[in-house]
Amino acid sequence: MRAVAFVGRRLLLLALVLAIVSVLIFGIVQILPGDVAVMILGTSATPADLAALRQKLGLDRPAALRYVDWVRGVLRGEWGTSLLYQVPVRPLVLERLERSAVLGVLALGTAVPLAIGLGVVGALRRHRVLDQVIGVVTLVAVSLPEFITGTVLILLLAFRFPLLPPSSLVDPRASLLQAAPSLVLPTATLVLALLAHMTRMTRASMLEVLEQPYVRAARLRGLRPRRVVLRHALRNALLPTVGIVAINVGFLIGGIVVVETVFAYPGLGRLMVDAVNHRDVPVIQVAALLIALTYALANLAADLTYAYLDPRIRY
Amino acid sequence: MRRDDARTERPEARLTRRQLLKLAAASGALGATLPLPGDRGRAWGQTPRAGGTLKMAWASSPRTIDPALTIQGDEYMITQNVYDNLTRVDERLQVQPMLATKWSSDPQARIWTFTLRPGVKFHHGRELKASDVVFTFERILDPKTGSPGRTALGPIEKVEAVDDSTVRFRMSSPYADLPVNLGVTFGRILPADRADRIVSEPSGTGPFRLVEFKPGERTRMVRFPDYWDRPRPYLDELWQVNMPQHPTQVASLSGNDVQVMFEVPVAFIGALEKAPGVSVVSVKSTSFQPVVLATDHKPFDDNRVRLAMKLLVARDAVIKAVWQGRGTVGNDHPVPDINPFHAALPQRTQDVARARALLTEAGHPQGFSDEIWTSNERVGMQELAVVVQQMVAPAGIKLEVKTVPWSVFNSTVYKKKALYVNNWFGRATIDETVYPYFHTSGSWNEGKYSNPRLDRLLEEGRSSTDAGKRREAYAEVQRLISDEGHYIVSYFTQYVSAMRTAVKGYTLHPLRWCDFRNTYLEA
């Protein structure tokens, strides 16, 4: 029962966060420089054409009224029409979100186990060559921005040694298996950016836990080392890593925007970039809101996982 | 491998096969990769091969496929291959027949009559009639459509169907360039019976049928088997794919994931020239990047200051610094040498002493300080601003370079600041190349330049049908603009593209249009 109340409280909080975020998004979009009407009609448009379009788009109404209309629309599922593409926002955004989610889940699903594995190995081989290599490689990977890592991967694995496709030119009729090769490079770029934090955190907390008396006790009882590490030490060492994973979802979303642009992957991030470039306000607002929602849900998931891993934790 | 200037690479149709082979041999290895000249594929002893999919990479993304509302190259590429125009503007900016087989006007160039080609079918099966042409242009002229073509097509007053295969255009003032202008992007002929489905279910008379339009991803077009100009087109499918990053495009082209790259930025030319199976091609374009000296701002209201600025610019050095030498020297007017009306004026060159004298005369012996605005989102603009900043410095002119994104540029710099760099694609007709930029009432007259004599000449040029008189009028127009206008035009850019060597029958157009009617993929 307490668990249900806990989740309920967290969901309420989430709604509040989203409400605040929606005001922020709307406000920021209002003060974006550049005129929507000019973006749509181009520089050759006459002032009369521009004024007519502004009126048609309702841009001449007060911002507060437009905000209320927008929120009401979003709640009703009427997300408006893209100014740029003249199509309904909802199917457009949802299709792109799905694609980004595929990329995000693949990246996170690869990065988390890999980082934990590398962290554990690093802790067990502390200060030995393998540990140093893992440390340096992950640090270099996280220090490079994704557009550099991505471009280097393209130039190396698609241009110099053409092993993988550089872009996501997937035929709409292709099966998932046929599409798979084009997902490798974008996923790898994201994984490289995600590894360092999680690896380091796992390694540090593993080292701490391995020093604990109960681990020594387990060893002294003659348990096999593998069992001691995986069953006894790792579960406790993972706690801080879970928090880092949630933070990394934030990095991941930022990374996806860049990676989708580099690899011409038609996801939510690219849609967002195009929308900002063209002041496509309805798309920017909904996409930003969905991204905020994703981040908030990731944090919620992290909190719940905390509670599961350490029953003492209750908020 | 690389070729310059479409004019030298396109042998005339009347050449014999023997002459062609000689020409190919004379140009050495070049001959092997020359694109076939348009419709004359057989002259090479090669029959165009039917079939295959061609994918073309674009950094930008289209927003609409409504020909009345298109304003970007990526949009033109789609409509050009889905629709036909009444006329075609060829690679030398000359007008050719397309859906209209012939046309004529009264001596005043006020009434134009076009005869339609018989047996042309729309993708939904219906035959083309004069009423479709009337519908197309009435739709553009309707202010509710909001088409920029309403003014860009010329002073069209009324379009009427004389019979099923004859269309008459009545102009509100004499307009000699109408046949050329009907060949540009707004003039794609739409079906009158599908007014409400132009974007949702597009149907044209063009060589390809649009089957998928996903802005920001790809647009897919498939062969229309009933195209009037059989056996064209040769390709089964034509794709436009949107890839924002140029390194991705370069890798995709070298991996044959795409077959044509719309535009190659200068920085990537070297890498592509070395890639096997890829050829880099270029053509002189009509695009130019002027430095705008707004005549409604001090000190540029004084022509001595404008002329001094023009005299401070060393054009060859500018082209070298900004475009690595790829460009044609400009003479401070927007008419490139590929335009049939280009006038051979004496070329303006750098003359710092004279510039200084002019500035002293104008009351600026020590020069002056100002801001020069530019954008970092169009290749070349920022570099040009920096080069100009350096070149005017010896005359004591201190410029501060101010850079903004393109969207901000359009709303806060264009037509508002005193001194800035701009980016213009050229136009097909001579009238549109000069009138909107320099007539007192011109919609793109960003320097607010006004000269009654120039206005008169511009009106004379657009209304006369006498080729000799027009040429004279436009020569004087170019001289006036060059000496007194509000532009420093230091260069016209080259349009550089890249494609797989297997792509045949695809020629670059100086207006950066992409026509795939004659294109095929070699086995």
* Cβ-based neighbours of A262, under 8 Å, separated by 6 or more: A146, A147, A150, A151, A154, A186, A189, B245, B247, B248
Q: What is the pLDDT of residue B20?
A: 41
Decide if A166 and B242 are in contact by the 8 Å CB cutoff.
no
Query: Would you say how long chain B is, in residues?
Result: 523
Token pair listed for B125: 């099966």
Q: What is the pLDDT of residue A42?
A: 66
Q: What is the Cα–Cα distance from A130 to B465, expressed in whole angstroms?
A: 83
Minimum distance, in Å, between the CA of residue B484 and any CA atom of chain A: 23
Please state at what angle helix A176-210 crosses helix A129-143, rounded to 10 degrees: 120
What percent of chain A clears pLDDT 90, i.e. is strictly above it? 18
**Is A5:A314 a contact under the CB 8 Å cutoff?**
no
List the single residue in A35, A264, A277 with the smallest CB-CB distance to B411.
A35
Q: Which residues pair with B491 in a beta bridge?
A: B329
Q: What is the Cα–Cα distance from B261 to B270, expressed in whole angstroms?
A: 15
Q: What is the pTM of this model?
A: 0.80
Q: What is the Cα–Cα distance from B413 to B192, expressed in whole angstroms?
A: 41
Q: What is the pLDDT of residue B495?
A: 93
The torsion region of residue B71 among left (phi > 0), alpha (psi -120 to 50) and beta comes to alpha
A269 and B CB contact within 8 Å: no
List the single residue in A38, A162, A271 with the smallest CB-CB distance to B255.
A162
Q: What is the Cα–Cα distance from B136 to B480, expressed in whole angstroms?
A: 37
Q: What is the pLDDT of residue B390?
A: 96
* Chain position carrying tokens 């009559």: B113
Among B171, B173, B170, B210, smallest CA distance to B188 is for: B210
Rounded average pLDDT over A231-238: 84
Decide if A270 and B412 are in contact by the 8 Å CB cutoff.
no
The CB density around residue B163, as the number of other CB atoms within 10 Å, is: 10
Q: What is the pLDDT of residue B126?
A: 96
ipTM of the complex: 0.73
**Is A280:A79 a contact under the CB 8 Å cutoff?**
no
List the single residue in B146, B248, B412 with the smallest CB-CB distance to A262.
B248
Q: What is the Cα–Cα distance from B49 to A99, expressed in whole angstroms?
A: 37
Q: What is the pLDDT of residue A170?
A: 64
Token pair listed for B405: 């994104």
pLDDT for A189 beyond 60:
yes
**Is B382:B375 a contact under the CB 8 Å cutoff?**
yes
- Count residue pairs from A and B with Cβ separation < 8 A: 114
In tens, the pLDDT along A260-277 reads 888 888 889 888 888 887
Decide if B152 and A44 are in contact by the 8 Å CB cutoff.
yes
> A147: nearest CA in chain B?
B245
Decide if A262 and B217 are in contact by the 8 Å CB cutoff.
no
Most B CBs within 10 A among A41, A49, A85, hence the mutation to make, goes to A85
Decide if A266 and B411 are in contact by the 8 Å CB cutoff.
no
Decide if B247 and A270 are in contact by the 8 Å CB cutoff.
no
pLDDT for A259 beyond 60:
yes
Decide if B411 and A278 are in contact by the 8 Å CB cutoff.
no
**Is B97:B87 a contact under the CB 8 Å cutoff?**
yes
> B242: nearest CA in chain A?
A264
* Phi, psi for A115 (deg, rounded to 5): -65, -40
Q: What is the pLDDT of residue A171?
A: 67
Helix, strand, coil distribution of chain B in percent, nearest 5: 35, 20, 45
pLDDT for A233 beyond 70:
yes
**Is B333:B449 a contact under the CB 8 Å cutoff?**
no
DSSP letters of B485-517?
Answer: SSEE--EEEEEEEEEETTEES----TT-----T
pLDDT for A44 beyond 70:
no
* A266 vs B contacts (CB less than 8 Å): 214, 216-217, 242
DSSP letters of A62-102?
Answer: -HHHHHHHHHHHHHHT---B-TTT-SBHHHHHHHHHHHHHH
3-state SS class at B210: strand
- Across the beta sheet with B166-171, the strand order is B100-105, B111-116, B166-171, B156-163
More confident residue, A48 or B423: B423
Q: What is the Cα–Cα distance from B225 to B232, expressed in whole angstroms?
A: 9
Q: What is the pLDDT of residue B363?
A: 95
**Is B95:B183 a contact under the CB 8 Å cutoff?**
yes
The CB density around residue B415, as the number of other CB atoms within 10 Å, is: 18
In tens, the pLDDT along A124-170 reads 888 889 999 998 998 888 888 888 899 899 888 888 888 888 876 66
Decide if B258 and A169 are in contact by the 8 Å CB cutoff.
yes
**Most confidently modeled range among A218-227, A284-293, B460-469, B472-481:** B472-481
In tens, the pLDDT along B218-251 reads 999 999 999 999 999 999 999 999 888 888 899 8
Token pair listed for A170: 């997937």
CA distances from B265 to A198, B73, B277, B328 (A): 39, 16, 19, 17
**Is B300:B371 a contact under the CB 8 Å cutoff?**
no
Decide if B55 and A273 are in contact by the 8 Å CB cutoff.
no
3-state SS class at B475: helix
> What 8-state DSSP symbol labels residue B188?
P
Please list the ranges in chain B whose pLDDT falls under 70: 1-45
3-state SS class at B143: helix
CA distances from B350 to B310, B316, B332, B378, B490 (A): 8, 10, 13, 26, 11
Decide if A165 and B61 are in contact by the 8 Å CB cutoff.
no
List the single residue in B245, B255, B407 with the smallest CB-CB distance to A262.
B245
> A51: nearest CA in chain B?
B146
Q: What is the pLDDT of residue A1?
A: 59
**Is B254:B277 a contact under the CB 8 Å cutoff?**
yes
In tens, the pLDDT along A4-19 reads 887 888 889 889 999 9
Residue B168 parent element (H or E): strand B166-171
Q: What is the pLDDT of residue B32?
A: 36
